[in-house]
Chains A and B, each alone.
Chain A
Amino acid sequence: MTTSSAAPRRTRRGTDRKPRFAIAVTAAFFALLYLPIGVVVLFSFNSQRSLTVFKDFSLRWYTAFFQDPVLLESLGMSLRVATVAMAGSLILGVTLALGLVRCRNRLGSLAGLVMLVPLVTPEIVTGVAAMLLFKGMQIPLSTGTVMLAEITFSISYVTVILRSRIAALNPEVEEAAMDLGATRWQSLRLVTLPALLPSILASAVLIFALVFDDFVLAYFTTGVDPQPLPVRIYSAIRFGVKPTINAVGTLMLVGSIALIALALFIPRLFGRRGGLDLLSGK
């Protein structure tokens, strides 16, 4: 977890020349990585329907989106699902992570295994399974079922992110609080949780963005009306593209990129290491 900061290997390698090939591949990779995103953003401002010829700058597709009651309803539903899933998975995930790190019995290792299952299962499998479960229990598919499925799925993320943070905490601080008369619960609430706050916030933002953007699980667990925004986008893409999708897509890109960037940099706002270790190479 501490690869980049701990190792004092900043010695410039004695390489006489730069690897031109690797740098060329990297440049081409970045071009192809951003080209599709750029295309969506560019043509969202096109005054014409065309996806190949850019005529004039126009906001008509954005206006069209904000006047489309179906898409707005979907937007509302996606926001509600993301909020509920974020809250639910945080409560269940933070407690689970605390328990998993501290609890050293057989139940703990079993729960640790269960928690890993969503991470090694393709989403289509969890989607199909959730749909069958709801159908089997005679629960009609609706906004609520999407929320339940997304919570289940997000608990693992929260737990994985927080687990390593909790394990890295110094337990002596908690012990010190208890030596000073705090109960175990008080030391948890007053010492441990505040120390975890950056990571908790970061995972909250991340979960919100992931759930809002999630397509597969939502696709299998949603009812017919309303449908989450990504599901609507999917049908729009399949059955003839309307340029409105470019506008929706651009708004979603901006939204989730902002959220992810926020999640990655929240720990730095607190001036601490922690949160998501994606950027330091795990």
Chain B
Amino acid sequence: MATQNTTGPAQPGLHPDDGPTRAAAAGHEHPTGRPHQDRRHTRAAPDGSAGAGDRLWTLLMLPGSLWMTAFLIGSLALVATLAFGTTDPLGNPRFGLNPENFAALAEPAYRAVMLRSLGYALLTCVICLVVAYPVAYAIALYGGRFKTLLIAAIVVPFFANYLVRMYGWSVVLSDDGPLLGVLRAIGLAGDGTRILQTAPGVVAGLVYGFIVFMIIPLYAALERMDVSLIEAGRDLYGGPLRTFFHVTLPATRQGAAAGCVLVFLPAMGDFVSAQLMGGPDQIMIGNLIQDKFFQGQNWPLGSALTMLMMAVLFLGMLGYLRRTRKDEAEAVR
């Protein structure tokens, strides 16, 4: 689950900064490396008359891509189809072409869960950004020779078992756990204050679960940033805050945007945090989906919920991509 998203932005289209590197590498291959015959064959590829080289590469590519297409695209298509299905009186799913599942999702009860999930996920993004930024900043600019070690100290535990981490976190946040103990001792929490079974508890779980996805891209952006820009800001008599908001923050905006996407995706789909940290009033869309597929045994409705969630995430991704395109266009100008 973890690397899935960490490595995600390294792909073209997702990670704006990666484009030039790869383009350069690809451009380099042709003029210098490839013999003429190869170049001709690359050109001729689309009509199927590829040469020995291209045929080997296509052949190599086939097993993996066929596997992915069959299992992944096939299964996602199945979800999309079943979302329009119904259940028979015994609860077995039946394929069909009726939109009533989506109509059911418009009911207030589902709408509330949907909006809550969206709210939790967005709040998680904001908190992650606010916490991760100073951390990434301190490590990238002041970590010195411990930089790599410090980032490793953050990344490594995040790849440890998600459930064990969340369970430990729920113990820390529990009513007689260490965090509330400290807060009570310094008078920040009353006797009846709880974190578990509340909305802040669920958001705290999501933040703990996914904040690393915010730290990594921010750290990368800050590492890449030209520090002399900050010095220039100071030389021009910008105060630390003004320099930060006018120089540092804009320079790392793409890292922040990437981090938001990477946190938003798993936060939207999570059901463990709401399960362990929340009560019945904090369930998220992931819990509903899980319920429809296990206890509720209403697969078509569960599929419709899944599709709805995908639609929301797709819109978020689209927004992110448009944003980075615009940024790139501005950078070119």
What is A's interface to B at a CB cutoff of 8 Å? 1-4, 7, 9, 11, 13-15, 18-19, 21-23, 25-26, 29-30, 32-40, 43, 51-52, 91-93, 95-96, 98-100, 102-108, 110-111, 114-126, 128-133, 136, 148-149, 151-153, 155-157, 159-161, 164, 167-168, 170-172, 174-175, 184-185, 188, 206, 209-210, 213-216, 220, 230, 233-234, 237-238, 241, 245, 249, 252-253, 256-257, 260-261, 264, 277-282
Contact = CB atoms under 8 A, between A and B. Distances in A.
B216 A33 contact: no
Interface in B59-93: 59-65, 67-69, 71-76, 78-79, 82
* 3 A-B pairs closest in CB distance: A99-B61, A122-B269, A96-B64
B21 interface: yes
20 contacts: A1-B18, A3-B220, A33-B208, A36-B208, A37-B168, A39-B177, A104-B42, A110-B65, A120-B317, A121-B265, A121-B313, A128-B306, A129-B72, A129-B75, A160-B8, A161-B7, A171-B33, A233-B161, A249-B168, A257-B156
A92 B67 contact: yes
Nearest to A156: B4
Given A15-B230, A155-B64, A282 B33 contact: no
Contacts of A164: 10, 22
Contacts of A156: 4, 68
Chain B interface size range:
35 or more
B323 interface: no
Contact of B138 (A25, A238, A277): A25
Given A40-B171, A98-B57, A100-B61, A126 B72 contact: yes
Q: Most chain-A Cβ atoms within 10 A of its Cβ — which of B11, B220, B313?
A: B11
Contacts of B168: 35-40, 249
**Chain B's interface: helix, strand, loop or mixed, by majority?**
helix
Contact of B293 (A26, A35, A128): A128
Contact of B64 (A43, A102, A111, A129): A111
A78 to B, nearest CB: 10
B310 A121 contact: yes
A186 to B, nearest CB: 12
Given A122-B268, A167-B25, A238-B275, A281 B223 contact: yes
A131 to B, nearest CB: 7
B164 A40 contact: yes
A220 B234 CA distance: 55
Given A155-B67, A279-B152, 5 more contacts: A13-B228, A95-B64, A99-B57, A102-B57, A253-B157
A114 B302 CA distance: 24
